[in-house]
Amino acid sequence: MKNSKLFHVLAFSMVFGFGGLNQSIASTLSEYQSNQVKISGVVKDATGPISGASIAVKGTSIATFTDASGRFTLATIPAGSKIVISYVGYASKEIEWKGESTLNVQLESTSNDLDEVVVVAYGTAKKSTFTGSASVVKSDQLEKISGSGFAEALQGMSPGVNVVNNEGNPGGDTRIQIRGISSMSGNSNPLYVVDGMPYDGQLNSISPSDIESVTVLKDAAASSLYGSRAANGVVVVTTKKGKTAKPQLNFRSAWGTSDNAVKNPTKASPQEQLLNTWEAMYNDQFYKYNLTSDKAGDWASDNVLSKLLKQVTNSKGEATYVSPFQHINEDYVLHDGKGNPYINPNLKMVWNEKIMMCIRLFFLEN
């Protein structure tokens, strides 16, 4: 708006030749120049000047960079501007400019991750000197995520790592994929190494509270020392160990519930199991061996007992069946000769409802 105002005043004076406006033009120009100030300064950190740091006036296109000695100069800065100083590996700083001609800024480093220790084959290495592709997840990160195992807590913590639960059941074993599936038909599971030893057990058996860190080695350069078993990547687990210090007691408690992805089907009652078994035997004789409906039903009724109940030997050495019914020699399932079975109404149950669960010990339920 100041530039526009100055332009219109000058144009009006030139066209109409109003000499009386000279004083107004001079005052406007003086006001404009007072609001456009040049500043300079130095950007440094705890060790010295920072070369290449960005200094920008927020909301404008005015920006510059520091030279080799960390110095910078900004010209024509509007009053009340906010100056943003930033550099890779340092926390950005935003300063409200109040008219100073000199601005010295010190940035705080955020690159502590470069000193992070990466556990590799047969040793450790600093992340700043490690040339392979790896990511480290610390124990405090794992403890923030609720899950039945450390593999579930690893989901979303490491780029390129995907955690899959094949079973869909609570507590079911999980599978880790590093950078996708590398084989269409072969095994795509990575190599698991726990405290320097290859581990072939279930991942859920490793408690997240016992883990000090998890290092995921992703490329060939990082996992080459493990050989062909590391073709799909390596997951290196380091557990917590005793330290020379004062005794410490750590307690962590968590509670939660999880449900099956697919609900368990309702189990059939003994009567329903009888009918289901009879129908399977009937269909086998009727469709496979082309028996008539009446003969296939008779054969299923005569043999359903031996198919469903468990045969045992009594104290006399005689073979018998454990049955919840009073008699085991009578027909359990009857039919109408057209493939429609029904339970014999004359059957009498020996056990009451409270102990009917004992039947499941003897019925061959699949």
d(CA 136, CA 231): 19
| 102 and 133 fall within a common domain | no
| 187 and 217 fall within a common domain | yes
Strands 117-120 and 123-126: antiparallel
pLDDT at 41: 92
What b/e readout covers 71-98, taking b as 16+ CB neighbours within 10 angstroms? ebebeebeeebebbbebeebeeeeeebe
What b/e readout covers 180-202, taking b as 16+ CB neighbours within 10 angstroms? eeeeeeeebebbbbbeeeeeeee
Task: Say if CB 50 and CB 70 are below 8 A apart.
Answer: yes
Q: Select from 95, 92, 58 the least CA-distant residue to 78.
A: 58
Is residue 182 situated within a structural domain? yes
Q: Which residue range forms the structural domain that includes residue 160? A: 122-239
Is residue 336 situated within a structural domain? yes
Rg (CA), the chain: 40
- Hey, which residues does 308 pair with through a beta bridge? none
pLDDT at 343: 81
DSSP state of 49: B
Is residue 149 situated within a structural domain? yes
Q: Which residues contact 95 (CB under 8 A, 6 or more apart)?
A: 82, 83, 84, 85, 103, 105
The domain tally of the chain equals 3
**pLDDT confidence band for 309 (50 / 70 / 90):** low
Percent share of the chain, pLDDT over 70: 67
Higher-pLDDT residue of 7 and 136 is: 136
Q: Which residues contact 132 (CB under 8 A, 6 or more apart)?
A: 120, 217, 218, 219, 221, 222, 223
pLDDT at 53 over 80: yes
**pLDDT confidence band for 11 (50 / 70 / 90):** very low
Higher-pLDDT residue of 40 and 344 is: 40
d(CA 12, CA 24): 12
Is residue 11 situated within a structural domain? yes
Write out the DSSP string of 191-249. EEEETTEE--S-GGGS-GGGEEEEEEE-SHHHHGGGGGGGTT-EEEEEE----SSS---
Mean per-residue pLDDT of the chain: 74
d(CA 323, CA 37): 101
Alpha carbon distances (Å) from 357 to 6, 170, 291, 348: 97, 25, 36, 17
| 159 and 235 fall within a common domain | yes
pLDDT at 318 over 50: yes
Is residue 263 situated within a structural domain? no
Which of 62, 78, 106 is where one domain is finished? 106
Query: 320: part of which helix (H) or strand (E)?
Result: strand 319-321
| 130 and 73 fall within a common domain | no
pLDDT at 357: 47
| 233 and 136 fall within a common domain | yes
d(CA 13, CA 29): 14
pLDDT at 2 over 70: no
Is residue 258 situated within a structural domain? no
Whole-prediction pTM: 0.44
Q: What is the CATH number of the domain that holds 155?
A: 2.170.130.10
Q: Select from 29, 43, 112 the least CA-distant residue to 71.
A: 43
Alpha carbon distances (Å) from 21 to 2, 72, 111, 256: 17, 39, 59, 80
pLDDT at 342: 87
**pLDDT confidence band for 16 (50 / 70 / 90):** very low
pLDDT at 112 over 60: no
| 129 and 210 fall within a common domain | yes
**pLDDT confidence band for 47 (50 / 70 / 90):** confident
pLDDT at 345: 76
pLDDT at 322: 63
- Residues 293-305 pLDDT 10s: 999 998 988 888 7
Residue 286 CA neighbour count, 13 Å, CB half: 18
Least confident of 112-121, 151-160, 169-178, 206-215: 112-121
> For residue 122, what are its two tokens?
């047969």
- Residues 197-220 pLDDT 10s: 888 887 778 887 888 888 888 877
Is residue 126 situated within a structural domain? yes
Percent share of the chain, pLDDT over 90: 9
- Residues 57-90 pLDDT 10s: 888 878 888 998 999 998 778 777 889 998 877 8
DSSP state of 356: G
| 145 and 222 fall within a common domain | yes
Q: What is the mean pLDDT of residues 269-290?
A: 87
Q: Which residues contact 228 (CB under 8 A, 6 or more apart)?
A: none
d(CA 109, CA 92): 10
Is residue 246 situated within a structural domain? no
Alpha carbon distances (Å) from 334 to 272, 291, 296, 338, 341: 13, 17, 12, 11, 6
| 197 and 278 fall within a common domain | no
